[in-house]
């Protein structure tokens, strides 16, 4: 698979977690350590993965 | 002196500072359409990041998102962070927009579509989509300013006065030096937004006994707000997808932000823009949601949840000076969004409708003049909508759902944008039919309130427009030569920059 395809797969995986965990795993956890903590950590992971990709970009003439 | 006086004084200082910055930006203004609308594609990383942040984050956050958190709980955090996760797609779209923008000299995202599909009708269709759906979005910003000034002054300042302040500033910031004045004032405003909101959140958390006590009190007082769906029925999966889907693709569907992908001066500036925005967005989202949760503890039982922030700011525990500074921060957030919308709509009208359809032979000077005239006209239309919607109540007239409804319409351009970059077989007719049909579906469901199977208008529009785009494209003839050249160029350039 190309790097681009891996990127799309990773993004789709993140979106699947976005629904699956809060609605099906944490739905009865009425605490800050439930959906609130999940979404905070999940978004941080998404952001870090963008930074990993950005670090590889290099200068190019448009 | 009264709070009302200090509110007006604060607004006056803000306007004076903004005007000063806009006039300084004007000293660097060159000539031409690209200069006015894109600052000649020479914007540095920091200004690009702050401008992108201020344009994206608006009154919606500290008023709308805080309000919907207050009313419906943690699902609001998931919805907003889903948008931020959607920014992952920037690793695909940012370099693509930037590279083709430089190579072909596009001024608006619609011009990109017209050229890629070799049909000006595509640009005009998506331009009209933007004109129709960005008006309510712009109006929401004005409503936010009006509600806030009204709330902080204890009702002494009428909502319409705040709306007028928003309109006048937005026209000024966008007209004085185009993108240069917008971007510079955006950077100034982004700093005000985040510093002031963080300061007041600190006061609120401290008043509630620190983070640990704050969370304990929240779990004790409103446990139902910490899970999805809530006991009250909010944040069903349908509602979540209905609100989050348009937001997920906001980065390419909303031209006022996708146009910004043309402006960084280098790859380093692009990286700084995206990285800076992600950090800003994460912090600002957390502040807005915690703010909304703070309001559930400190000002429970409000009938209109969009008043959660104004009511919070009028509490005795927030020093008046700080409340006014925060009010200015949120006003800045609203104005920094609407001025960008006005500037983008003016460029879209001038380039994609006036030059694209009405008068193809118009000179660059004439095109610019048309764009500059469109700025106040669109501002007045947004003003009218804000005036009409400001006294309406109910979930559909809350700021967050209204904002998402606007983006639901713009979502219909997403298949055409994906097709432009990734699918050589995509055609102009596929793009136009899918945009128009999807937008009609969204408008009908939005206006009638009909939600078959419980799915929201944007979801239905998307369900209709994606297959339509594919089927009509497969049934019609693509602009093969242009597609090969456009996508072929990108393939080589992306490899050179190690983009994915």
Is A1 in the B-facing interface, judged by CB distances under 8 Å? Answer: no
Closest approach of chain A CAs to the CA of B95, in angstroms? 10
Predicted pLDDT at B400 = 65
What is the rounded CA–CA span in Å between residue B273 and residue B93?
A: 13
B280 alpha-carbon distance from chain centroid: 15
Q: Which residue in chain A is spatially nearest to B226 when comparing CA positions? A: A30
Would you call A23 and B89 a contact, using CB atoms and an 8 Å cutoff? Answer: no
Would you call A40 and B237 a contact, using CB atoms and an 8 Å cutoff? Answer: no
Residues of A in contact with B268 (CB under 8 A): 59
Report A:21-50 residues touching B (Cβ under 8 A). Answer: 22-23, 26-32, 34-36, 39-40, 42-44, 46-47, 49-50
Would you call B218 and A29 a contact, using CB atoms and an 8 Å cutoff? Answer: no
CA angle B328, B331, B337 (to 5 degrees): 140
What is the rounded CA–CA span in Å between residue B145 and residue B306?
A: 12
Residues of A in contact with B103 (CB under 8 A): 62
Predicted pLDDT at B386 = 85
For B422-448, how does the pLDDT look when each residue is reduced to its tens digit (9 = 90+)?
999 999 999 999 999 999 999 899 888
For B57-115, how does the pLDDT look when each residue is reduced to its tens digit (9 = 90+)?
987 888 889 999 999 999 999 999 999 999 999 999 999 999 999 999 999 999 999 99
Would you call B278 and A51 a contact, using CB atoms and an 8 Å cutoff? Answer: yes
| A–B interface: beta-carbon pairs under 8 A | 127
| Range with lowest mean pLDDT among B27-41, B129-143, B281-295, B352-366 | B129-143
SS3 category, B301 = coil
Beta-ladder partners of B264: B43
Predicted pLDDT at B398 = 61
**Spatial CA neighbour of B497 closest among B267, B193, B154:** B267
Q: Which of B215-224, B312-321, B352-361, B481-490 has the highest mean predicted lDDT (pLDDT)? A: B481-490
Would you call B81 and A26 a contact, using CB atoms and an 8 Å cutoff? Answer: no
Would you call A60 and B496 a contact, using CB atoms and an 8 Å cutoff? Answer: yes
pLDDT band, very low/low/confident/very high, at B329 (cuts 50, 70, 90) = confident
pLDDT band, very low/low/confident/very high, at B314 (cuts 50, 70, 90) = confident
What is the rounded CA–CA span in Å between residue B482 and residue B488?
A: 9
Residues whose CB falls within 8 Å of the CB of residue B491, separated by 6 or more in sequence, listed in order: none
pLDDT band, very low/low/confident/very high, at B159 (cuts 50, 70, 90) = confident
Q: Which residue in chain B is spatially nearest to A35 when comparing CA positions? A: B227
Predicted pLDDT at A61 = 55
Q: Which residue in chain A is spatially nearest to B211 when comparing CA positions? A: A32
Would you call A31 and B219 a contact, using CB atoms and an 8 Å cutoff? Answer: yes
SS3 category, B68 = helix
Is residue A26 a contact partner of residue B73, using CB atoms and an 8 Å limit? Answer: no
For B196-242, how does the pLDDT look when each residue is reduced to its tens digit (9 = 90+)?
899 989 999 998 999 999 999 999 999 999 999 987 789 999 999 99
**Beta carbons within 10 angstroms of residue B471's beta carbon:** 13
Would you call A43 and B81 a contact, using CB atoms and an 8 Å cutoff? Answer: yes
Predicted pLDDT at B254 = 95
What is the rounded CA–CA span in Å between residue B305 and residue B380?
A: 27
Is residue B317 a contact partner of residue B296, using CB atoms and an 8 Å limit? Answer: no
SS3 category, B230 = coil
Residues of A in contact with B229 (CB under 8 A): 23, 27
CA angle B348, B350, B351 (to 5 degrees): 65
Q: What is the mean pLDDT of residues B16-32?
A: 92
Phi, psi of B2 (to 5 degrees): -80, 160
Beta-ladder partners of B339: none
For B262-293, how does the pLDDT look when each residue is reduced to its tens digit (9 = 90+)?
999 999 999 999 999 999 999 999 999 999 99
SS3 category, B43 = strand
Closest approach of chain A CAs to the CA of B157, in angstroms? 36
Q: What is the mean pLDDT of residues B148-168?
A: 87
Would you call B88 and A46 a contact, using CB atoms and an 8 Å cutoff? Answer: yes
Predicted pLDDT at B396 = 57
Q: Which residue in chain B is spatially nearest to A2 when comparing CA positions? A: B500
Beta-ladder partners of B43: B264
Residues of B in contact with A35 (CB under 8 A): 74-75, 77-78, 226-228
Would you call A11 and B88 a contact, using CB atoms and an 8 Å cutoff? Answer: yes
Q: What is the mean pLDDT of residues B477-495?
A: 97
Is A4 in the B-facing interface, judged by CB distances under 8 Å? Answer: yes
Give the ipTM: 0.96
CATH of domain B3-404: 1.20.1730.10
What is the rounded CA–CA span in Å between residue B326 and residue B343?
A: 26
Among B81, B227, B498, the residue with its CB nearest the CB of A56 is B498
Would you call B91 and A23 a contact, using CB atoms and an 8 Å cutoff? Answer: no
Closest approach of chain B CAs to the CA of A25, in angstroms? 10
Which residue is associated with the tokens 């879209």? B348
Mutation target for A interface from B227, B235, B242, B285: give the one with most A CBs within 10 A.
B227
Which residue is associated with the tokens 């298949």? B415
pLDDT band, very low/low/confident/very high, at B369 (cuts 50, 70, 90) = very high
Which residue is associated with the tokens 């803000």? B14
- Both tokens of B205, joined, read 């958390």
**Spatial CA neighbour of B264 closest among B179, B205, B189:** B179
- Both tokens of B153, joined, read 């002054």
Among B219, B237, B240, the residue with its CB nearest the CB of A32 is B219
Residues of A in contact with B224 (CB under 8 A): 30
Among B215, B278, B496, the residue with its CB nearest the CB of A47 is B278
What is the rounded CA–CA span in Å between residue B300 and residue B236?
A: 23
CA angle B402, B407, B85 (to 5 degrees): 110
Which residue is associated with the tokens 């525990």? B317
What is the rounded CA–CA span in Å between residue B31 and residue B43?
A: 16
Phi, psi of B180 (to 5 degrees): -60, -50
- Both tokens of A6, joined, read 């891996």
Query: Helices (H) and strands (E) in chain B — how many of each?
Result: 24, 0
What is the rounded CA–CA span in Å between residue B297 and residue B208?
A: 9
SS3 category, B264 = strand
Closest approach of chain A CAs to the CA of B413, in angstroms? 20
Average pLDDT for chain B:
92
Predicted pLDDT at B2 = 82
Closest approach of chain B CAs to the CA of A17, in angstroms? 11
Residues of A in contact with B77 (CB under 8 A): 35-36, 39-40
Among A31, A36, A49, the residue with its CB nearest the CB of B88 is A49
- Both tokens of B396, joined, read 């559909």
pLDDT band, very low/low/confident/very high, at B395 (cuts 50, 70, 90) = low
Predicted pLDDT at B399 = 65
Which residue is associated with the tokens 């983006």? B407
**Spatial CA neighbour of B142 closest among B371, B336, B396:** B336
Among B223, B227, B278, the residue with its CB nearest the CB of A26 is B227
């Amino acid at each position: 698979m190309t790097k681009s395809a891996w990127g799309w797969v990773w993004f789709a995986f993140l979106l699947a977690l976005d629904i699956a965990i809060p609605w099906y795993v944490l739905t009865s956890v009425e605490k800050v350590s439930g959906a609130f903590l999940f979404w905070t950590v999940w978004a941080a992971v998404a952001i870090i993965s963008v930074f990993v990709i950005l670090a590889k970009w290099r200068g190019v003439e448009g | 002196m009264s709070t009302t006086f200090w509110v007006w004084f604060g607004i006056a200082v803000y306007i004076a500072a903004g005007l000063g910055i806009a006039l300084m930006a004007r000293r660097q203004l060159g000539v031409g359409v690209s200069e006015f609308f894109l600052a000649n594609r020479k914007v540095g990383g920091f200004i690009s990041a702050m401008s992108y942040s201020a344009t994206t984050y608006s009154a919606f956050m500290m008023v709308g998102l805080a309000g919907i958190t207050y009313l419906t709980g943690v699902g609001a955090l998931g919805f907003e962070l889903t948008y931020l996760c959607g920014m992952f797609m920037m690793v695909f779209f940012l370099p693509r927009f930037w590279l083709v923008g430089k190579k072909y000299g596009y001024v608006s995202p619609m011009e990109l579509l017209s050229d890629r599909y070799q049909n000006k009708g595509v640009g005009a269709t998506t331009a009209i989509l933007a004109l129709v759906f960005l008006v309510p979005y712009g109006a929401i910003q004005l409503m936010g300013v009006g509600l806030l000034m009204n709330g902080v002054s204890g009702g002494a300042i009428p909502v319409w006065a705040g709306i007028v302040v928003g309109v006048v500033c937005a026209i000024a910031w966008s007209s004085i030096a185009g993108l240069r004045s917008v971007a510079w004032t955006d950077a100034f405003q982004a700093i005000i937004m985040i510093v002031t909101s963080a300061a007041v959140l600190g006061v609120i958390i401290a008043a509630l006994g620190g983070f640990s006590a704050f969370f304990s009190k929240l779990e004790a007082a409103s446990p139902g707000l910490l899970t999805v769906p809530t006991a009250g029925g909010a944040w069903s999966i349908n509602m979540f997808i209905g609100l989050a889907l348009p937001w997920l693709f906001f980065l390419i569907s909303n031209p006022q932000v996708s146009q910004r992908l043309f402006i960084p001066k280098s790859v380093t500036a692009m990286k700084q823009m995206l990285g800076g925005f992600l950090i800003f967005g994460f912090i600002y989202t957390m502040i807005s949601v915690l703010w909304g949760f703070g309001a559930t503890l400190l000002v429970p039982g409000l009938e209109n949840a969009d008043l959660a922030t104004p009511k919070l700011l009028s509490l005795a525990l927030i020093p008046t000076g700080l409340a006014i500074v925060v009010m200015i921060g949120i006003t800045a957030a609203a104005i920094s969004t609407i001025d960008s919308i006005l500037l983008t709509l003016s460029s879209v009208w001038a380039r994609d409708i006036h030059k694209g359809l009405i008068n193809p032979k118009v000179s660059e000077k004439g095109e610019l003049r048309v764009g500059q005239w469109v700025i106040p006209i669109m501002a007045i239309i947004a003003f009218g909508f804000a005036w009409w919607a400001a006294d309406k109540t109910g979930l559909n007239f809350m700021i967050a759902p209204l904002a998402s409804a606007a983006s639901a319409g713009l979502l219909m351009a997403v298949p055409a944008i994906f097709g432009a970059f990734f699918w050589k077989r995509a055609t102009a007719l596929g793009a136009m039919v899918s945009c128009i049909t999807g937008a009609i579906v969204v408008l009908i469901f939005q206006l009638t309130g009909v939600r078959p199977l419980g799915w929201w208008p944007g979801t239905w529009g998307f369900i209709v427009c994606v297959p339509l785009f594919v089927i009509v494209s497969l049934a019609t003839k693509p602009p093969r030569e242009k597609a090969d050249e456009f996508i072929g160029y990108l393939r080589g350039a992306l490899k050179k920059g190690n983009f994915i």
